[in-house]
Amino acid sequence: MANIIVAQLLYLDAVDPKKDIVMYVNSPGGSVTAGMAIFDTMRHIRPDVSTVCVGLAASMGAFLLSAGTKGKRYSLPNSRIMIHQPLGGAQGGQTDIDIQANEMLHHKANLNGYLSYHTGQSLEKINQDTDRDFFMSAKEAKEYGLIDGVILNPLKALQPLPVSVESADESSEKAAA
């Protein structure tokens, strides 16, 4: 599946590099390396990638949802979003288990670093919140910083979020204080 998504992203970039790509996410998650291939491609291509959660974005699905272009990450109102640490297992001799454990720690640190960047949450908070399954509603995911908006009006869906004059004024007042 990841190879198909990567190919589609590259194709859409080649067809019209100035047109935004909308990626709908309804995923329970999956392979970290496959997800990172999609993530790297999203960052490699020229168009902005808008992400929209429809149903469930869990694990790597939530990571990719958060990796959309800032200001263009959305969810439908009844969707669920879940983050957690990477899952895996180890077998073999002691050395093999050590190698696999180190690889899991690498993935955890890498994913949590990106989640911290995408959400604006501290790395400490991300580490704490991903220790176990952490489910959120669309509204909670917006407050957390995983998405930028909840689509309530389909006629206005997927438009860049306007900068609120009120929030800009509040920021100026806080800076002056």
Query: How far is residue 141's CA from residue 147's CA, in Å, rounded to a whole number?
Result: 6
Question: Are residues 53 and 76 in contact, defined by beta-carbon separation less than 8 angstroms?
Answer: yes
Catalytic residue among 27, 50, 59, 79: 59
Of 72, 31, 32, which Cα lies nearest the Cα of 53? 72
Out of 27, 31, 75, 84, the active site residue is: 84
Catalytic residue list contains 27: no
Give CA–CA dist 78/76, Å, rounded.
6
Residue 59 is among the residues annotated as catalytic for this protein: yes
Which residue is associated with the tokens 């454990």? 101
Pure H helices in 45-135: 60-66, 94-119, 123-129
Q: Other C-beta atoms within 10 Å of 131: how many? A: 10
Q: CA–CA separation, 21 vs 164, rounded Å?
A: 25
- Tokens 């969810």 belong to 75
Alpha carbon distance 130, 83 (integer Å):
6
Catalytic residues: 59, 84
